[in-house]
């Protein structure tokens, strides 16, 4: 609710009432608001999305139980001096986003979660595979493939951040008008980090 002083108060279902000043809040859609701290840019408060307004197409039906994994660079191309920095920067983009996730990139050892960089005779840039799920559709194992047959390095980070979004339950949103890393219409050269909408949805999923 917009107050006479320009601030907003929001009471989400079963949640605390939050007060957001109008000049530091970003209205996303349907009155959903995220506030970033003016000092460090971190998200400090938000209204938690009322259940009835969650779009059914925001989430896929599987994802990580907790948003904290080790993910292994699983082949030589993934570990080379071109691709390793791109993948590490993509993980950092999520880790530093305020979404509350911790994606730790391994270059050796073993993990149930892996990234391969391969040339695949397909039309997609990247793909995420849910290899094993528990009874609640939480991922036990999964892997991402980045397809060098289609992918130039200048759009590789946007693609990798998108694929990590799938591990975090986010669905493709081909027709989404919000700024989101999950949109097919995004500018892959310039949108290289999770957007407020994505951060918000991941936080909501793990709230």
Residues in the site for Zn ion, rule: CB under 5 A? 172
> Shortest distance, CB of residue 172 to Zn ion, whole angstroms?
4
Closest residue to Zn ion, judged by C-beta, is: 172
Task: Closer to Zn ion by CB, 101 or 176: give it.
Answer: 176
Long-range contacts of residues 135-139, Cβ cutoff 8 Å, at least 24 apart: 136/65, 137/61, 137/62, 137/63, 138/62, 138/63, 138/64, 138/65, 139/62, 139/63, 139/64, 139/65, 139/113, 139/167
Task: Closer to Zn ion by CB, 35 or 128: give it.
Answer: 128
> Shortest distance, CB of residue 53 to Zn ion, whole angstroms?
23
Task: Closer to Zn ion by CB, 48 or 117: give it.
Answer: 117
> Shortest distance, CB of residue 166 to Zn ion, whole angstroms?
6
The rounded distance, in Å, linking the Cα atoms of 95 and 92 is 5
109: left (phi over 0), alpha (psi -120 to 50) or beta: left
> Shortest distance, CB of residue 198 to Zn ion, whole angstroms?
12
Task: Closer to Zn ion by CB, 88 or 172: give it.
Answer: 172
């Amino acid at each position: 609710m917009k107050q006479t002083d320009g601030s907003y108060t929001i009471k989400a279902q079963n949640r605390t009432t939050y007060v957001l000043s109008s000049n530091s809040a970003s209205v996303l859609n349907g009155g959903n608001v995220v506030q970033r701290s003016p000092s460090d840019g971190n998200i400090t408060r938000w209204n938690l999305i009322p259940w009835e307004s969650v779009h059914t197409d925001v989430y896929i039906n599987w994802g990580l139980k907790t948003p904290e994994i080790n993910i292994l660079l699983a082949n030589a191309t993934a570990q080379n001096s071109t691709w390793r920095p791109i993948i590490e920067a993509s993980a950092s983009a999520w880790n530093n986003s305020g979404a509350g996730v911790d994606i730790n990139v391994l270059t050796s050892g073993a993990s149930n979660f892996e990234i391969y960089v391969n040339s695949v005779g397909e039309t997609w840039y990247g793909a995420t595979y849910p290899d094993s799920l528990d009874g609640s559709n939480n991922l036990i194992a999964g892997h991402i493939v980045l397809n060098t047959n289609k992918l130039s390095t200048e759009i590789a980070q946007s693609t990798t951040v998108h694929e990590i979004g799938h591990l975090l339950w986010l669905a493709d949103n081909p027709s989404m008008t919000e700024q989101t890393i999950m949109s097919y219409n995004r500018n892959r050269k310039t949108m290289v980090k999770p957007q407020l909408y994505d951060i918000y949805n991941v936080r909501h999923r793990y709230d």
